[in-house]
Amino acid sequence: MDKPADALQRLRRVHEDAAVAVLRSAGALSRAELTQRTGLSRTTLFSIISELIERDAVVEVEALPAEPRGRGRPAALIALNPSAGLLIGLDVGRRRVRLAIANVAHEIIATGMADIPAGADAPAQAEAAVRLVRRVGEEHGIRLGALEAIGLGLVGIVDDPSLPAGTVPARHAPVARRLAEEFGVRVAVDNNARLAALAESTWGAARSVGDLVYVRWSVGVGGGFVVGGRLLRGAHGAAGEIGHVSLDPEGPPCHCGGRGCLERRIGSQALLEVCAARGIALTGLDALVAAAQDRVPGVCEVISAAAADLGRILADTVVQLDPERVVVGGEFASLGSLVLDPIRQAIDGLALPKIGRRIGVTPADLGVNASAMGAIALLLNEEPAIPGHLRP
Ligand SMILES: [Zn+2]
């Protein structure tokens, strides 16, 4: 039998761990918010926070004067000590790799980007990622000795989120293993569109939204669902692949093996072909978006019709998942109402009108670094591995 004092000490540690875990996934919070989220009593929570502050495990930060609500000073916020650990997020795409570096207090302290040569294989992608981390680290004077873990976003189906060195399967292996070996830390992996969804719900357009449908409309069409505050991965790592919902079983073949996929209809290549057939020659995605911004005759019609197709699929998704918000990312989202209005109309007109009218459809907030930031959010949302020096 434990002595009562030991049991009390253990209970206190459980409470401490709960408070640290909440700060890790949510970022800076007021004492009141932290009390509510941990479910601890005010007295217990305040006593634990005082002790964590004494041990330098957490710090008090000044609250941003977000909105002038009444009088008096804004309550100070509590955050994990930024020097307690660094996290790296990498987004390895087909043509470039993007990097974000953050501390455990949710502050993004550096970002960077490097091109990957066309047709590069996985080992070449891994080298590009390693070089980018080293270069940005040096440029910002960041000591990678404090690195705790790396989150890695990849293209395609990612069904094994945690890849400790030596157990890495399939095609993710070279990139994940190389990073784990180079930096001597754990590497967590997920699909990069899903990670962008997680980032938008952590820092972006759907901050604090527990139920979110995110779609990224670009060269391809990807997506991610956050359900009850957690990223939905699916049994086979394919949750959120909105682009491969079939609109037409007799339609053109898709690289996924299906036919008539949404991506084959509204991905940038398909839209460029439609424009070309109408005598509008454009060189690629950027030119297509620029032409729509310039209101080139014909282009806007092609894109808004594509947005209506996307809207119909999103409306189906909304009926099934009942999210609080739909967030549209990718280059096409920068066209604003041209793409958002047809999507809103499709959702407003769905079979459950009471729900449809209450769902906000908003453009994504985080831009090109969303997936790299989502890779960091993936690490922050994991079951907490309390950094060693948080312990006295
Ligand atoms: Zn497909």
User: pLDDT tens across 242-270, in order?
Assistant: 999 999 999 999 988 999 999 999 999 99
State the total domains in the chain. Answer: 3
217 CA distance to ligand 1 centroid (A)?
Answer: 14
Pair (375, 324) in one structural domain: no
254 CA distance to ligand 1 centroid (A)?
Answer: 5
User: How large is the average pLDDT for residues 139-144?
Assistant: 89
Local structure of 59: helix, strand or coil: strand
Residue ranges making up the domain that contains 51: 4-80
pTM of the shown model: 0.82
184 CA distance to ligand 1 centroid (A)?
Answer: 37
161 CA distance to ligand 1 centroid (A)?
Answer: 22
Pair (234, 341) in one structural domain: yes
Residue 340 contacts residue 375 (beta carbons within 8 Å): no
240 CA distance to ligand 1 centroid (A)?
Answer: 13
Q: Provide the phi-psi class of 229: left if phi over 0, else alpha when psi is between -120 and 50, else beta.
A: left
Pair (375, 310) in one structural domain: no
244 CA distance to ligand 1 centroid (A)?
Answer: 4
Question: Which pLDDT score, from 0 to 100, does residue 73 have?
Answer: 64
Pair (276, 327) in one structural domain: yes
304 CA distance to ligand 1 centroid (A)?
Answer: 21
User: Is it the case that residue 156 has pLDDT exceeding 70?
Assistant: yes
Which pLDDT band holds residue 159 (cuts at 50, 70, 90)?
low
Is 228 among the domain residues? yes
Pair (104, 62) in one structural domain: no
pLDDT tens-digit readout, 17-65? 889 888 888 888 999 999 999 999 999 999 999 988 888 888 888 776 5
Which pLDDT band holds residue 168 (cuts at 50, 70, 90)?
very low
The residue among 386 and 322 whose pLDDT is bigger is 322
Pair (93, 160) in one structural domain: yes
Weakest mean pLDDT among 191-195, 216-220, 230-234, 249-253? 230-234
Pair (218, 354) in one structural domain: yes
Length of the chain: 392
pLDDT tens-digit readout, 79-108? 888 887 899 999 998 889 999 999 888 889
Residue type, 88: I
Residue 112 contacts residue 128 (beta carbons within 8 Å): no
Pair (66, 93) in one structural domain: no
Task: Provide the token pair at 372.
Answer: 């790299």
User: Is it the case that residue 389 has pLDDT exceeding 50?
Assistant: no
Pair (154, 190) in one structural domain: yes
315 CA distance to ligand 1 centroid (A)?
Answer: 19
319 CA distance to ligand 1 centroid (A)?
Answer: 22
229 CA distance to ligand 1 centroid (A)?
Answer: 28
246 CA distance to ligand 1 centroid (A)?
Answer: 7
State whether the Cα torsion 279-281-284-285 is positive or negative.
Answer: negative
Q: Find how far residue 210's CA is from the centre of its chain.
A: 13
Average pLDDT taken over every residue of the chain = 87
Pair (163, 264) in one structural domain: no
Neighbours of ion ligand 1 (CB under 5 A): 244, 254, 256, 258, 261
Weakest mean pLDDT among 101-105, 134-138, 220-224? 101-105
Task: Provide the token pair at 176.
Answer: 């994940």
What element of type H or E holds 154?
Answer: strand 147-154
Residue 86 contacts residue 103 (beta carbons within 8 Å): yes
Residue type, 57: A
Residue 104 contacts residue 84 (beta carbons within 8 Å): yes
Is 390 among the domain residues? no
Say how far apart CA 216 and CA 194 lie, in whole Å: 9
259 CA distance to ligand 1 centroid (A)?
Answer: 7
User: How large is the average pLDDT for residues 171-200?
Assistant: 89
User: How large is the average pLDDT for residues 137-147?
Assistant: 89
373 CA distance to ligand 1 centroid (A)?
Answer: 26
Is 126 among the domain residues? yes
User: Is it the case that residue 125 has pLDDT exceeding 60?
Assistant: yes
User: How large is the average pLDDT for residues 346-360?
Assistant: 77
Say how far apart CA 251 and CA 261 lie, in whole Å: 8
Pair (97, 75) in one structural domain: no
Pair (129, 60) in one structural domain: no
Question: Which pLDDT score, from 0 to 100, does residue 84 have?
Answer: 78
Is 221 among the domain residues? yes
